[in-house]
Amino acid sequence: MKLKILSIILMLAAVNGLAQSPKSAFSDTLVKNKEIILAKYIPIANGEYLFSGYQIPLDSFIYRINAFKAAFNVQINEEKNTMLKDLKKKDVEFYSYNVLAHYRTYYGMDSVGMGNVLKLLDSKQTGPNFDKSIDSAQKLAFHKRLSKEEKSRIEDIVNNASFNDAALFKTSSAYRQWVNDHLKSLQRKKYPTDSALGYGGGNVGILKAISAEVSDAFIKEYLLYTFTETVLKSVNDVSAKETAYKDFIKVVTNSTYKSHIQEIYANYKNMASNAQAPNFTYTNVDGKMVSLKSLRGKYVYIDVWATWCVPCKAEIPFLAKIEEEYKNKNIHFVSLSVDRIADKSKWQAYVRNNKLQGIQLMADKDFNSEFVNKFNINSIPRFILIDPKGNIVSGDAKRPSDTSLRKQFDTLL
């Protein structure tokens, strides 16, 4: 059994959203075929780590990583441009750091144990007991662990580097990934945040880490832009949002970054002011166009979801019960898919095969759809409540599995 590097990280962390940001001039052309060469030393097939790689003893793994780096010596030494030669060497170095960091996280994982985790994630369960089951299954998925000394040894290798190499940041995705991961590690160790901030709250601490630890102006502005966007979209605490925005505006000079953050901030303020909801006109499961305006006269409860989103599908049974309970009340239930248009037939099949009720719609540009952007949606499931006049009641409404949603409906209806 094998799992994609990114997908396993997303599944274990239950990450269910995508960050959106303007296109940048970053590249990744320094050293090609790193993954192909790595597969000669670490068990990888078709871009996927094999579970056997997580069983390799640390000494042997480090030996293989060093051999991987040495494989590029001839190619790098042939480079005549001194600056470019240095960048290529660093690109391979940071790529190896990321591989070591991944190994440290998943060392000892076996396919059977991970298979049990994936079965649970796909079971459509939810609630405290389900969370405990997932936690227990994840622990059982690892049949051995690195010692404290071994982890420290990897830390010394991986973290012996600087945040402030702008030339490398612009040209190496491996370095950008390392910076991102190292910032998250620093946040946990040196810049802890209040757990009351909830999902995304760690990004408040990351902003503090960036301000304190990153000195290069180009990298600092980009990182402040990226994580301020995340705080504005993901953290519910008003004070945290306002502080992040004000600090960003004081420091960042890049006009593109400032314009985008100001737009996101305006969206957030618009949601908080119960303003008129932006309209949409999207296709339903039968191919007919449905607009939000056409649903006025009733409350509209919108579930933003996707067929690939496990937490989204876990909410469907709860949503079905609420739809049944309130079917004769003054409310429409809309399920808005942000699946890719290329997956439209998959979405239609899922809706029909599972006999999903309510008004089933598909956004026109997945996460880049205007309506989705106006609500600063960067993770799903997300729920929106709109009143009969088309005004926003909540841009981040309670989930169907939250018992307080019924209380809110009973009050409004």
CA angle 5, 89, 60 (to 5 degrees): 55
Cβ neighbors of 249 (< 8 A, separation 6 or more) are 258, 261
Token representation of residue 242: 């306002």
Distant-in-sequence, close-in-space partners of 372: CB < 8 Å, separation ≥ 6 = 304, 338, 363, 366
Residue 406: how many other CB atoms lie within 10 Å: 15
Rounded distance between C-alpha atoms, residue 12 and residue 201, angstroms: 18
Distant-in-sequence contacts of 406-409, Cβ < 8 A, 24+ apart: 406/322, 406/325, 409/322, 409/326, 409/329, 409/331
Strand partners, 142: 109
Strands 331-337 and 359-362: parallel
How far, in Å, CA of 271 to CA of 335, rounded? Answer: 20
Instruction: Kindly report the number of other CB atoms within 10 A of residue 69's CB atom.
Output: 16
Lowest mean pLDDT among 5-14, 135-144, 314-323: 5-14
Alpha helices in 141-172 (DSSP H): 148-158, 166-171
Average pLDDT estimate for 269-295 = 92
Within 13 Å and on the Cβ side, how many CA atoms surround 275? Answer: 12
64 token code pair: 């293989």
Torsion of CA 59, 64, 65, 71, to 10 degrees: 150
- Please state, as a whole number, how many other Cβ atoms lie within 10 Å of the Cβ of residue 212: 11
Report the range of poorest mean pLDDT among 127-136, 235-244, 391-400.
Answer: 127-136
| C-alpha to C-alpha distance for 228 and 225, rounded to whole angstroms | 5
Lowest-confidence region among 23-27, 94-98, 342-346 = 23-27
Q: CB 246: neighbour CB atoms within 10 A?
A: 11
Find the mean pLDDT for residues 80-87.
96
387 with 380: CB under 8 angstroms? no
* pLDDT on residue 147: 94
Question: What superfamily in CATH does domain 281-412 come from?
Answer: Glutaredoxin (3.40.30.10)
Task: Report CA 224 to chain centroid distance, whole Å.
Answer: 17
Give dist(CA 50, CA 42) in Å, integer: 9
Cβ(179)–Cβ(223) below 8 Å: yes
Query: Residue 15's pLDDT is what?
Result: 32
What per-residue confidence (pLDDT) applies to 134? Answer: 62
What are the tens digits of pLDDT across the range 154-213?
999 998 888 899 999 999 999 999 999 999 999 999 998 887 777 778 899 999 999 999
CB 128 within 8 A of CB 153: no
The pLDDT score that the predictor gives to residue 3 is 42
Q: What is the pTM (predicted TM-score) of this model?
A: 0.80
Instruction: Give the per-residue pLDDT at 195.
Output: 76
Q: How far apart are CA 371 and CA 290, in angstroms?
A: 14
Structure token digits, residue 206: 């990351």
pLDDT at residue 251 tops 50: yes
Q: Where are the domains of the chain?
A: 1-108+144-158, 165-273, 281-412
Distance between CA atoms of 157 and 325, rounded to whole angstroms? 58
